[in-house]
Homo-oligomer: A and B are copies of this chain.
């Protein structure tokens, strides 16, 4: 493993200020970051604006400076499955081959850095470290997707919701009593968890009624008892 801490100024401040999730960002070493910075251009997207669509030529990869992004697939009849939420500090579109396999939309107003794929590819050829970092990024994505799979395939609605909230809380290093930001709406949660919006609402209400969490407003939850929440996530009822 060749991971190094990433510490350029703009991304860290952005992460602190706006990152709803404080999970470890894709680690990049200094040389790579400097090189990346040189080829990136800033770009802005409004809430629900499409950044790229499934099937588009994958001409760019991205890194989020502030805001958040949903990555999803649609079935022909409109059913939607969100594969990932990406947050400040995260990369996305790196995993694409010739065409994007997912659609990317801004969850909220977002500022991103755009990297031209051809320049990125050239950089990769030159810098072994960049290629290695990219490999590790993909490994993480794959691992996350596998965790997501068992969630959708083998967990109950309550377990999925609780697992999701645990993930949110952990990425923000939340402890009992601290407020956790929920950047996505209920429909987004439902489409990520393979449920309906009603089921999501009910499960959240149940957790609230059981005093495991509190809901100050739609976009925040307070974890009152992390152990209990984890137990629900694990199916220990």
Binding site for B on A (CB under 8 A): 1, 73, 75-77, 79-81, 83, 95-98, 101-102, 125, 128, 131-132, 134-136, 138-139, 141-143, 145-150, 152-155, 191, 193-194, 234-235
Minimum CB distance partner of A76 in chain B? B234
Contacts of A141 in B (CB 8 A): 142
A31–chain B nearest beta-carbon distance, Å:
16
Among the listed B81, B139, B147, B153, which residue makes an inter-chain contact with A150, where contact means beta carbons less than 8 Å apart? Answer: B81
Copies of this chain per assembly: 2
Among the listed B95, B143, B153, B193, which residue makes an inter-chain contact with A139, where contact means beta carbons less than 8 Å apart? Answer: B95
A184–chain B nearest beta-carbon distance, Å:
15
Contacts of A102 in B (CB 8 A): 146
**With A125-B128, A136-B97: A194-B152 Cβ-Cβ less than 8 Å:** yes
Assess the B138–A75 pair: CB atoms within 8 A: no
A116–chain B nearest beta-carbon distance, Å:
17
Assess the A154–B80 pair: CB atoms within 8 A: yes
A-B contacts, 18 of them at CB < 8 A, read A1-B97, A73-B150, A75-B155, A77-B235, A79-B154, A80-B154, A81-B153, A81-B154, A95-B142, A97-B136, A97-B139, A102-B146, A138-B138, A141-B142, A152-B152, A152-B153, A152-B194, A153-B193
A76–chain B nearest beta-carbon distance, Å:
6
Minimum CB distance partner of A137 in chain B? B138
CA distance A170 to B58 in the complex (A): 26
CA distance A76 to B81 in the complex (A): 26
A152–chain B nearest beta-carbon distance, Å:
4
